[in-house]
Amino acid sequence: MGALVESSIHCSVQALVERDERLARRVIEDEPKINQMQLDVDSRATRLLALNQPVARDLRLLIMALKINTDLERIGDLASNTAKRALALISLPQIKPLIDTPRLASLVEDMLHRSLDSFVNRDAALAEKILTDDDEVDDLRDAIYTELVAMMQTRPDVVEPAINLMFVARNLERIADHATNIAEEVIFLVSGVDVRHSSPSGKHQ
Amino acid sequence: MGALVESSIHCSVQALVERDERLARRVIEDEPKINQMQLDVDSRATRLLALNQPVARDLRLLIMALKINTDLERIGDLASNTAKRALALISLPQIKPLIDTPRLASLVEDMLHRSLDSFVNRDAALAEKILTDDDEVDDLRDAIYTELVAMMQTRPDVVEPAINLMFVARNLERIADHATNIAEEVIFLVSGVDVRHSSPSGKHQ
């Protein structure tokens, strides 16, 4: 599920950069598969909880799987939404550079990849590192917004594509938030310490 | 927690409509309380799972509480973000009508209120009704977007406030998605049938 979600993000941004309509449509078609996986993981975790009545760390692991499952499904939604924005952008005149969108995307993809790695390897140190990356994502998104607003104020013809790009940046920033959630869960799992809502970077949205 | 979240949404929109800076700041200050409640509910549900090892419907109820808890915390984030947008809008020249934002807000508030009612009363019929409301929310948000884009294309001076309003509409639409999630969970709890990802209106984002 993590792999499919990662690939969806990557392809949605690729579709945008290369103006590849077919690739965008593939991401949109893959979303129901991710949704189905969410239902499967949910029902398997619930069965395990019911049948094995785990305690302590096993219990935390299962609850965490349920939470990460929700995060991954939402990321799938955001990738699909990005692919829809890519389709809209392909149909509009190209506003030359995509600003820093590809850079933001690669930062976010990397965060998600490492957060999933930290889960698989129970690596709290790796997870910690991800929490600070989120600030960089927010800064980059702010820079993209500022540039797009300035563009729209001088060229009414770029309003529509610029708005689509703005929502792409927002989707990517929200994916980074979900990666941060996953990292926080890993830290909780490994250390038993709940860092949600405590670090300045550990913020949703 | 539900009551505080509902009040935050209401006040964030009120702050926007009445250009009331103090009210907006109150919503932003209340967010940490909602976050703390999320941590409390999470740890209480986890303890109950560990100590009482519930099965069947009780197990479903606890897992559901964990999920609704996440939805409510995210709604708290969105209300706080709306309050920040309200502050930004207050500092900018007023673009006359707020389009259909207040109508969208009241629709969304009503959905959330009923979804929480359906949870408290285990009322699957009430929950079903909420799923169809989500389409109306999406239509209204689309209408707001279209109107704002048209405005921005003709008046460069409204670009900034219009973008802030656009994100407010997006926040409200996402709150409606969370209310829909809650309703879907209630239907699952009561009937044992998982309606997520099956109805055309049962869509996130």
In a domain, B198, yes or no: no
- Single out the residue of A42, A37, A47 nearest to residue A2, CA to CA: A37
In a domain, A171, yes or no: yes
**Inter-chain residue contact B149 with A159, CB threshold 8 Å:** yes
A48: Cα within 13 Å, side-chain hemisphere: 16
In terms of residue numbers, what domain contains B149? 2-191
In a domain, B56, yes or no: yes
In a domain, B104, yes or no: yes
> Who among B35, B149, B159 is closest to A197 (CB)?
B35
In a domain, B202, yes or no: no
**Inter-chain residue contact A46 with B60, CB threshold 8 Å:** yes
Mean pLDDT of B6-31: 97
For residue B156, give how far its alpha carbon lies from the nearest alpha carbon of chain A (Å): 5
Which pair of tokens denotes residue A107? 């930062």
Q: DSSP per residue over B105-173, as a string?
A: HHHHHHHHHHHHHHHHTT-HHHHHHHHHHHHHHHHHHHHHHHHHHHHHHH-GGGHHHHHHHHHHHHHHH
* Tally of CB atoms within 10 A around A191: 12
In a domain, A153, yes or no: yes
- Predicted confidence (pLDDT) per residue in A61-102, tens digit: 898 899 999 999 999 999 999 999 999 999 998 876 688 999
Mean pLDDT of B88-99: 84
**Inter-chain residue contact B163 with A163, CB threshold 8 Å:** yes
In order of A73, B107, B180, the CA distances from B139 in angstroms are 24, 12, 16
pLDDT at position A199:
54
Residues A134, A200 contacting (CB under 8 angstroms): no
pLDDT over threshold 80, residue A200? no
Tally of domains in chain B: 1
In a domain, A25, yes or no: yes
> Who among B32, B77, B149 is closest to A205 (CB)?
B77
- Which residues does A38 contact at the CB level (< 8 Å), separation at least 6? A1, A69, A70, A72, A73, B196, B197
The model's pTM is 0.88
Q: What is the CATH number of the domain that holds B92?
A: 1.20.58.220
Q: Give how far the C-alpha of residue B205 lies from the chain's centroid of Cα atoms, to the nearest Å.
A: 11
Mean pLDDT of A1-28: 97
In a domain, A205, yes or no: no
This complex has an ipTM of 0.82
Which pair of tokens denotes residue A150? 């300035």
pLDDT tier for residue A201 given thresholds of 50, 70 and 90: very low
